Copies of this chain bind each other. A is one copy, B any other.
């Protein structure tokens, strides 16, 4: 059984690929299928090398280029995990690039699947960025997507495509709205959400960090470990459990910067936690305060998707998975 992972060189894609290799099989809702090949696609080689495994095949191509999607999807591709995207900050700065990759790239990939007539399971990484503007205090399953970024608008349009292509029987789609993923490994990036990972990752590696928002700032988070479980779970759920609409917001954890710092102190001690310095940045604060932080993802929970237990669990998982079990004590 053959799998395609787009955006497979990114930190989530890589982790998903590793999880699929380790598992060695996936259920298609009826029977367990052995993983024969994972085709990993991304625009460029990853910073951290993918494992040396004969089942892996890498293709470095931009999915929005004419002909690329057709090359990626074969007549025996049974699962597609579509994670490739231009991130929010970049899609806002370069509107055409975001449209090309996030909307048209997804459309091309769906068209390539439709042309194969094999109706693969199609797991799509969407985002809570589809919410914005005037929102209720708690986001419910039936809350409207009213995005206030081009990234969010492109993700919302792609969700509609995934749903309609599923309804028509072209793919068997499952779209997941991801919370802010914490702790993201690697270097700090320029996303407004970067602080949510930096304030944990940097101190644990012995570096000082500036937090640009106040301790009361709320965030809706999910760990890389859990989100990979959610991708796999989404792929394995039988089609009939998805009902009339193939998209849902994943469960997560409503936390605050204060709770994140407390968890860091619990796991690594006060000396590590004191590596965080607070210097509010009004620009970042204005963006971050517009994000939804309270969700009631009843449907996802009923379907068996799971969030992390608490912030401590998230910090411990990062130390275990990304730091080899050790952090830099003072």
Contacts and interface: CB of A to CB of B under 8 A. Distances in A.
Interface string A137-158: 0000111111110100100110
Number of identical monomers bound together in the oligomeric complex: 2
Given A143-B142, A160-B157, A168 B95 contact: yes
A167 interface: yes
Interface stretch (A5-13, A38-46, A128-136, A201-209): A128-136
A309 interface: no
A147 B164 contact: yes
A244 B132 contact: yes
Contacts of A146: 163, 244-245
Interface string A100-133: 0000000000000000000000000000000011
Nearest to A142: B144
Contact of A160 (B95, B153, B243, B244): B153
Nearest to A163: B153
Interface string A149-191: 0100100110011011001100000000000000000000000
Interface of A: 95, 132-136, 141-148, 150, 153, 156-157, 160-161, 163-164, 167-168, 243-245
